[in-house]
Amino acid sequence: MHASIAGGLVNAIKSADEKGCDCLQIFARNPRGWLVRPLTSDEISEFRTAREKSGFWPLAIHSVYLINLAATDPILRARSREAFRGEITRSIDLGADYLVVHPGCAGAAGAEAGIAEAVKSMRECMRGLRLRGAAASAAEAGGKNGLTILLENTAGQGSSIGSRFEQIEQMLELLDNIPVDVCLDTAHTLASGYEISSEPGLRSTIRAINETFGFNRIKLIHCNDSKAPLNSRVDRHQHIGLGCIGDDGFRRIAHNLKFRNLPFILETPVDKERDYAWNLRQIRALAAVAPDFVSSSGVRE
């Protein structure tokens, strides 16, 4: 689950532990502002100790919302790069396995220019930083050797890049010598036009992934239902089973062998009727009852 850091970073560990989670995602700072307070050595030590005791794996940090690595405006681009480099160093300090980032918005420049700018920004931000062990190659993954950056697919809203799997693949190819992989968001996937709510649609989406960046590059699933329908290009998360993916859609995803060994992070709403604990029970209940037999290829038989 994505846990709140209100009252201190270590509170996120306590909250996730109380809910019976296995893995954890947090913001490492205020996600809606540019200003950031440096972490003290005591805060870092306390968080690392609590995380080690909890046994949570992986620990993911989500980058702040204001970052736009594809920005063509020089002021926004400079602020975004400064903030993202800060997110990287903060993630390393906290011992995170993954740092999730949206590829960015290209504006009037178009997708190709946006992809080129985002790749340039990422290279600039990572320059001189030791993200993973020196013995680990860029093709290795799993977060066990240090920090890996994860590109999150988008819903396709506005001029955002990364809604098409081909765009994610293109960015990975251009970043082939640095530790970058993929975070797949289920709500974004549906809203961007990949029909994962039905059995044929899931099959088609699996083929699309295999034909582009491949499942070996997916390290994390953002498990969210979608308030917005297929191909709406609108990013609106919903409680598990209550949106356009639905119970059957998540049951098939949870039992498909392509997804079963991946960590799932909930980013679902919190309201008076339902919270993260409700959604956690929901996805676990769906995962406990298989829809039917799934072959080793990950396709229903």
Question: Is 188 one of the catalytic residues?
Answer: yes
Contact criterion met (CB below 8 Å) for 94 and 52: no
Given the residues 2, 77, 237, 251, the one annotated as active site = 237
Given the residues 140, 267, 274, 275, the one annotated as active site = 267
What value does the mean pLDDT take over residues 169-182? 95
Given the residues 77, 90, 102, 255, the one annotated as active site = 102
pLDDT at 134 over 70: no
Structural domains in the chain plus CATH codes: 9-288 (3.20.20.150)
> β-pairing, 225-226 with 237-238?
antiparallel
14: left (phi over 0), alpha (psi -120 to 50) or beta: alpha
Output the 3-class SS for 11-70: HHHHHHHHCCCCCEEECCCCCCCCCCCCCCHHHHHHHHHHHHHHCCCCEEEECCCCCCCC
Position 99 scores a pLDDT of: 98
pLDDT at 28 over 50: yes
Question: What average pLDDT does the structure give for the chain?
Answer: 91
pLDDT at 296 over 80: no
Position 285 scores a pLDDT of: 96
Percent share of the chain, pLDDT over 90: 84
Question: Is 185 one of the catalytic residues?
Answer: yes
Contact criterion met (CB below 8 Å) for 285 and 251: no
Q: How sure is the predictor about 1, in pLDDT bands with cuts at 50, 70 and 90? A: confident
Position 32 scores a pLDDT of: 84
E strands within the chain? 24-26, 59-62, 98-101, 148-152, 180-185, 218-223, 225-226, 237-238, 264-266
Cα separation, 254 vs 78, in Å, equals 40
107 token code pair: 């504006």
Identify the sign of the CA torsion 267, 123, 31, 68: negative
Widest pairwise Cα distance in the chain: 54
Q: How sure is the predictor about 297, in pLDDT bands with cuts at 50, 70 and 90? A: very low
Triad 221, 57, 245: Cα angle to 5°: 20
Question: Is 2 one of the catalytic residues?
Answer: no
* Assessment of whether the complete model's pTM goes beyond 0.95: no
Given the residues 52, 65, 123, 207, the one annotated as active site = 65
Angle at which helix 199-210 crosses helix 246-255, to 10 degrees, equals 40
Question: Is 267 one of the catalytic residues?
Answer: yes
Cα separation, 268 vs 274, in Å, equals 9
pLDDT tens-place string over residues 52-64: 999 999 999 999 9
Position 129 scores a pLDDT of: 81
Given the residues 97, 152, 195, 225, the one annotated as active site = 152
Percent share of the chain, pLDDT over 70: 91
More confident residue, 211 or 7: 211
Question: Is 152 one of the catalytic residues?
Answer: yes
Q: How sure is the predictor about 133, in pLDDT bands with cuts at 50, 70 and 90? A: very low
Position 141 scores a pLDDT of: 38
Position 135 scores a pLDDT of: 30
pLDDT tens-place string over residues 192-207: 999 999 999 999 999 9
Cα separation, 222 vs 224, in Å, equals 6
pLDDT tens-place string over residues 106-127: 999 999 999 999 999 999 999 8
Question: Is 273 one of the catalytic residues?
Answer: no
Question: Is 222 one of the catalytic residues?
Answer: yes
pLDDT at 291 over 90: no
Collapsing DSSP to helix, strand or coil, 294 comes out as strand
Question: Is 65 one of the catalytic residues?
Answer: yes
